Amino acid sequence: MSNLKILVVDDEPVFLELMAHMLARAGYREVEFAQSAEEALEAIDRPLARFDCFLLDIQMDGMNGVELCTRIRAMQPYARTPIVMITAMTEKHYVDAAFLAGANDFVNKPIDLREVRARMGMVEAILSERSQLSMVSSQLVDTEAVVGARVSFDSATILEDCDFLAPASRLEAHLLRQGTLRLLSSVAVGVHVENARALHDRAPGLPFADLMAEVGYAIREAISGGDRILSYFGRGDFCALLPQATPFDRQEVEAAIELKLAQIPGLAFDGPGMMPVVKVGAPKRNGLRLLGDTTWMLYAAMADARGEDRAAKKEAIAHVA
Amino acid sequence: MSPEPDCARIDAELARVRGHFIGTLENRILDLDALVTHCRAAEDPYLGFEAIARQAHKIAGLAPTLGFQDLGRDAREVELAAGRITPARPAHGRAAVLAQVEKLLDRMEAVLNTSWH
């Protein structure tokens, strides 16, 4: 039996009963319910309220679930609390919006117990990992250099606090939930910081994380227009997911990123040798791989940016969910 | 790990939720019927169809899990059809959509009638 505190929000009372039943069968009994976004916000605002997870219906009268997700994410205690959206197949146009609003995952209506268990298992895994990371950090000597030195070169989570980047795990989850047509209309573009290892070795930890954040911001500004989602995968690898129709020229984007980085005062640590050197890969689509691993295009895009001859395998890029 | 609850208890709990759902069918039928009347007569039935789509969405999200697969399918079809009505052409395809809503209403009445026997 889990003691996770869950808030379920849906404007259909019978559905809330059903969720109570499903969650109880999955081992969750500390569950509260709200029949509207407004009621949910009141529950969250209660002085001693502290929820570990939110399950939000998308379509509700008044404030919808996507807007509610945005509001919850804006609250400091819940900036990273797992949020699972409850969606129907007819709501695919809301899925992107929910994802951009900060949702972690989705459960489909009509619900079944197996999927509820799987999604809650994901929630438990996220919370467990964060709890372990928090314990490790709190045991370290509290100096920025020491804490920063623990930021691994491989880690994809060093930029989790950047609100203009989506966590790598969320980008993967988003692709895994896309339907065929949406996948066909999306492309992935990889951006690699060629001297990331040298930059990290010279100034590891938080200075490296800050530098990658500046690079990420420059990439985001350079790839303008349309709904683009950008994530950091560790080791100087970024990946952007774009609508296929977005106008895109690799060389222009590279030049734009370089220009933006050059304009940041004090960015180069000790001369031009330490300025991030960025390579943009060719756009990649899943194509015939739709029936296989739908995240293939992300790794192929990043491999292309690294100039690798063969497509990268997922195992080559370690990331923390 | 706590033991899996016994099947009889699970069935009883789900039967209770199912019973509550059936208990809501009468009002849902009345609401949909009123919306059908409005959409049939109104010059601009767009908001009426939007309301029908929302009602159908709720039924479609519930019914299959409670054992009413056909009802869920019919509700999903109504949700999609009513959702295709646009403000620019609110009466376009009106008759076809209303026919689907009538089919959904028939299905809902059948479920209700079966539960009374």
B15-29 residue pLDDT tens: 999 999 999 999 999
> In chain A, whose CA is at the least distance from the CA of B80?
A90
Confidence of residue A139 (pLDDT cuts 50, 70, 90): low
Distance of CA A161 to the CA centre of its chain: 10
Going A125 to A128 to A132 to A137, the CA torsion angle's sign is positive
Which residues from chain B sit within 8 angstroms of residue A117, using beta carbons? none
Confidence of residue B110 (pLDDT cuts 50, 70, 90): very high
- Does residue B113 sit at the A interface (CB-CB below 8 Å)? no
Going A164 to A167 to A171 to A173, the CA torsion angle's sign is negative
Which residues from chain A sit within 8 angstroms of residue B61, using beta carbons? 12, 15, 88, 109-110
Distance CA A212, CA A200 (A): 10
pLDDT digits (tens, 9 = 90+) for A18-32: 999 999 999 999 999
Q: Angle at Cα A171 formed by Cα A165 and Cα A175, nearest 5°?
A: 150
Distance between B85 CA and the closest CA of chain A, angstroms: 14
Interchain CB distance below 8 Å, A25 and B66: no
Question: What is the model's pLDDT at position A133?
Answer: 66
Question: A interface mutation test: which of B62, B68, B73 has the most A CBs within 10 A?
Answer: B62
Interchain CB distance below 8 Å, B76 and A90: yes
- Name the DSSP letter for residue B3: P
Distance between B71 CA and the closest CA of chain A, angstroms: 12
Question: What is the model's pLDDT at position B27?
Answer: 96
Query: Which helix (H) or strand (E) is B89 found in, with range?
Result: none
User: Looking at A65-79, A123-137, A265-279, B23-37, which range is the least confident one?
Assistant: A265-279
Percent of chain A with pLDDT over 70: 82
- Does residue B103 sit at the A interface (CB-CB below 8 Å)? no
Question: What is the model's pLDDT at position A52?
Answer: 94
- Does residue A211 surpass a pLDDT of 70? yes
Question: What is the model's pLDDT at position A193?
Answer: 95
> Average pLDDT, whole number, for chain A?
83
Distance between B18 CA and the closest CA of chain A, angstroms: 9
The residue behind tokens 């890029």 is A317
Distance between A124 CA and the closest CA of chain B, angstroms: 15
- Does residue B11 surpass a pLDDT of 90? no
Query: Which helix (H) or strand (E) is B18 found in, with range?
Result: helix B7-41
Which residues from chain A sit within 8 angstroms of residue B66, using beta carbons? 18
Predicted-complex ipTM score: 0.87
Distance CA B117, CA B98 (A): 29
Distance CA A83, CA A72 (A): 9
HEC sequence for chain A: CECCCEEEECCCHHHHHHHHHHHHHCCECCEEEECCHHHHHHHHHCCCCCCCEEEEECCCCCCCHHHHHHHHHCCHHHCCCCEEEEEEHHHHHHHHHHHHHCCCEEEEECCCHHHHHHHHHHHHHHHHHHHHHHHHHHHCCCCHHHHHHCCCCCCCCCCCCCCCCCCHHHHHHHHHHCCHHHHHCEEEEEEEECCHHHHHHHCCCHHHHHHHHHHHHHHHHHCCCCCCEEEEEECCEEEEEEECCCCCCHHHHHHHHHHHHHCCCCCCCCCHHHCCCEEECCCECCHHHHHCCCCHHHHHHHHHHHCCCCCCCHHHCCCCC
Mean pLDDT calculated for residue range A223-234 = 83
- Does residue B62 sit at the A interface (CB-CB below 8 Å)? yes
Q: Is the pTM higher than 0.80?
A: no
